[in-house]
Amino acid sequence: MPQSSNANLAPPELFVPMGKWAVAQAPTLIRTLLGSCVGVVLYDRNAKVGGVAHIVLPDSRGDTALPGKYADTAIPAMIADIDRQTGRRSMARLTATIAGGASMFQTSTPSLNIGKQNNEAVERILNQLGIQIVGRDLGGDAGRRLTLDTNSGNVSIRIPGGPDHEI
Amino acid sequence: MQGLTLSQIQLRLIASIFERGAEAASRALTQWLGRTVHLKISDVDQADITEVAGLLGPEDATVAVCAMSFAGQLEGQLLLVFSDAVGLSLVDLLLQQKPGTSTQWSELERSGACETANIVGCAYLNALSVHLPGNSATDTLIPSPPEFRHEFAASLLEFAVMEQASVMDRVLLVKSRFQAEGADLDWALLFVPTPDSLRTLAQIAP
């Protein structure tokens, strides 16, 4: 039986810039490019809905201007968006994958080396919310391209010049 | 944190100071490469951090970069960025090889790119330090040795603006483009001050 002409269409893609998050349902690829920032992926396998946040700093300290910038505001905001997409409270079904936090250049000043603080803040918040972290790809000195396939829940990482690998 | 937003007048004044750096770097590069190269300030950009990823073209394009930090009256990052093809062409030119001879970034090619960055960066920073209002003759901007990397364009930009982004939501970077004998070269020189240096620049151009 011939396949529909739609079968070969590439899934739509969303790009997540620094300090933002995006949530979508299958079939969508959500992508971001990371350096020392941390990417947080949340995924509801039953609903095939997921999100990616591109987090810059660990703590908002009450700043509300750009909630996607901080771990303590981006993660709850993304969960609320996932709840809106699924029409129910999703937190108990969510799994998390985190990546990024590189120290990219030796020329970086110590104050730039905040990848570790970001990683720790994200892990602490996810633990407090009871969300299981099923994959990590953290640290190192290279940027990462992170892609969430909302159809499968697979998260793939590419470093410059390398192939995609799943985590 | 909205941070520091500079007026159009301040941005124009800052651009005029950076033009002096570009002129000096053009002369140094022309001498180094043996052909006329002109470096021109394309933009003094103030952008929301959410808009930074695309400032060098496609976010996931892989670029070659030589990164230097600098210290002195101003501090920050200076990045010489080029596409692979253009960077390798530069190396062929430097080594007086037939175009297309260099096909990958081995130690020799990286060294050639970093030496070019060193020459451009030092000339640029020296001229800046001379033309910064209030600077004495002994004030200099001192660069670190260049570090070569292959990076995604958006990851590189994220690194470059990270220190500003840690205290403000809008960031400033100065982007210079190269022209060689009338043709645009696909290179960029990015000057990204620290937050304190951004405040210094704002005071220079009140």
pLDDT tens per residue across all 167 residues of chain A: 444 455 567 899 999 999 999 999 999 999 999 998 999 999 999 999 999 999 999 999 999 899 999 999 999 999 999 999 999 999 999 999 999 998 887 655 554 567 888 999 999 999 999 999 999 999 888 999 999 999 999 999 999 988 999 99
Helix (H, G, I), strand (E, B) or coil at B193: strand
Q: How far is A132 from chain B (nearest CA, A)?
A: 27
Token pair, residue B158, equals 């994220």
**Percent with pLDDT over 70 in chain A:** 90
Query: What is the CATH T-level fold of the domain A9-149, as seen in this structure?
Result: 60s Ribosomal Protein L30; Chain: A; (3.30.1330)
CB B82 within 8 A of CB B57: no
**pLDDT tens string A38-54:** 999 999 999 999 999 99
Q: How far is B204 from chain A (nearest CA, A)?
A: 24
Decide if B158 and A143 are in contact by the 8 Å CB cutoff: yes
CA–CA distance, B165 with B159 (Å, rounded to integer): 10
Mean pLDDT within B101-107 = 91
Least confident of A45-59, A106-120, B169-183, B192-206: A106-120
Residue A110 with chain B: CB contacts under 8 Å: none
**Is A37 considered catalytic here?**
yes
Decide if A18 and B53 are in contact by the 8 Å CB cutoff: yes
**Percent with pLDDT over 90 in chain B:** 37
DSSP alpha helix (H) spans, chain B: 8-33, 84-94, 107-131, 153-165, 195-204
- Does residue B1 lie in a domain region? no
Torsions phi, psi of B143, nearest 5? -85, 155
Residue A17 with chain B: CB contacts under 8 Å: 49-53
Chain A residues within 8 angstroms (CB to CB) of chain B: 15, 17-20, 31, 33-37, 56-57, 63, 65-66, 68-69, 102, 104-109, 111-112, 114, 142-145, 160-161
Helix (H, G, I), strand (E, B) or coil at B49: helix
Instruction: Determine the structural domain holding residue B21 and report its residue range.
Output: 8-204
More confident residue, B71 or B177: B71
pLDDT, chain B, mean: 86
More confident residue, B157 or A103: B157
Looking at chain A, which runs of residues are DSSP E strands?
Answer: 13-15, 21-25, 29-34, 38-44, 49-55, 94-100, 132-138, 144-149, 155-158, 165-166
Closest CA to B193 of B60, B101, B74: B74
- Does residue B3 lie in a domain region? no
Q: What's the pLDDT band for B206 if we cut at 50, 70, 90? A: low
* Of residues B50, B158, B194, nearest to A35 (C-beta): B158
User: Domain limits of chain A?
Assistant: 9-149
CB A82 within 8 A of CB A23: yes
Decide if B50 and A18 are in contact by the 8 Å CB cutoff: yes
- Does residue B2 lie in a domain region? no
- ipTM exceeding cut-off 0.85 for this assembly: yes
CB pairs under 8 A between A and B: 107
Number of H helices, E strands in chain A: 2, 10
CA–CA distance, A42 with A26 (Å, rounded to integer): 13
Decide if A20 and B144 are in contact by the 8 Å CB cutoff: no
Decide if B67 and A105 are in contact by the 8 Å CB cutoff: yes
User: What total number of domains does chain B contain?
Assistant: 1
Single-letter residue type at A88: R
Entry pTM: 0.90
Residue A112 with chain B: CB contacts under 8 Å: 159, 162-163
Say which CATH number the domain at B165 has: 3.40.1550.10
